Amino acid sequence: MPHAQIVGWGMYVPSRVVANDSFVKMGLDTSNEWIASRTGIEERRLVGKNEATSDLAVKASLQALHTAGAHAGDIDLIIVATCTPDHVMPSTASLVQTRLGATRAGAMDLNAACSGFVYALATGAGQIESGRAKQVLVVGADELSIHLDWKDRNTCVLFGDGAGAVLLRASQEAGVLSSTMGSDGSGADLLIIPAGGSRIRANHNGKSNRNANGDQYLKMNGPQIFRWATQMMAKASEDVMAASGLKPEQVDLFIPHQANLRIIEATARRVGIPSQKVFSNVGHYGNTSAASIPIALCEAIAAGRVKRGDNILLSSFGAGLSWAALAVRWGVSVQARPTPWSPLRLQIETRMAAVRSALRKQNRRVRTSIDSTLHRDQD
């Protein structure tokens, strides 16, 4: 059976930095000390006016392809984990697929909120292990800032925007060791954006007034989420370690979902992993939802925290209520550099993809015009 190995990685965060003091200037009853002491967050990145989720995802994906020295045309499947898609339909993954020029790839979105990336990584690994795919691009991308009530200090200070991506490739060496996924829908109302689906219409007697009760905003029961998250991330991590045959001392790096520093520290204590083996960047980015773990992985690699043969544990929780964990044995050298021609090749491929997409759109318009003319003649 082939193994799924991470061979490429990339991240992108918007250029706009919003520090904690910005919320004080907005008139919120808060302070830098209040936010930092309760969450560990000092700043976050927020998208600009013209940045959609697919824009973040494409930039992270190009970095992952560059790192792997891979061609978009060789990708078999693209999975974009997001709860903030560009549109209700089509999938954001389809938009990423055409912009990358991944002409052979299937494309789908996966929504498990903040657990989405680990869900998607396990799904992509399963496709490779079954022999149905040889290369799978897995992306976590979210911009929850579009769903925040900037008058609610309990939620708006927590989240940031960004994207991270990895390229999975079939390998004879061990890669993804094991994974677990779970959900408890009885707690779905504890972390929810009510608007955007069919339920909002049903709750308003057939009308689609999504803004009537601020239903477009993220709503969260913070205390209950905190208690549940520390328990479930720890349990998921323990389950994956047991399935992988790993003991806590054999884990070289623990990368949990970056939601809250206190949750991260409490989870590590429960699992028995010392703080020096835990990676956290929540202070700089806040909670970037499905993007948080791949962004943290990229920064851990850049910081020299990952080397070939390391056992890495990923653990996450999110709305649903959902949770997921995955163990991977790192199988590639992070010092390896792709060919210097790689950036140029990727630039050419993406421009060709844009031309191809434009030509196909034009072709459809021409065919529609011809069909319409012929039908008029027949009438």
Cis peptide bond prior to 314, omega within 30° of 0: no
Confirm if 177 and 329 have CB atoms less than 8 A apart.
Answer: yes
Which of the residues 114, 156, 260, 298 is marked catalytic?
114
Q: Judge contact between 331 and 172, C-beta under 8 A.
A: no
Torsion-angle region of 245 (φ positive above 0: left; ψ -120 to 50: alpha; else: beta): left
Is there a catalytic annotation at residue 205? no
Rounded to whole angstroms, the Cα distance separating 292 from 280 reads 10
C-alpha distances (whole Å) from 18 to each of 22, 78, 177 are: 6, 31, 38
Active-site position among 156, 257, 260, 298: 257
238 contact partners, CB below 8 Å, separation of at least 6: 271
**Among 111, 260, 287, 311, the one annotated catalytic:** 287
Does residue 257 carry a catalytic annotation?
Answer: yes
Q: Quick check: is 83 catalytic?
A: no
Which are the contacts of 226, defined by CB distance < 8 A and separation ≥ 6? 260, 262, 263
Task: Check: CB of residue 340 under 8 Å from CB of residue 315.
Answer: no
Residue 96: partners with Cβ closer than 8 Å, 6 or more residues away: 54, 57, 58, 61, 78, 80, 102, 107, 139
* Active site residue ranges: 114, 257, 287
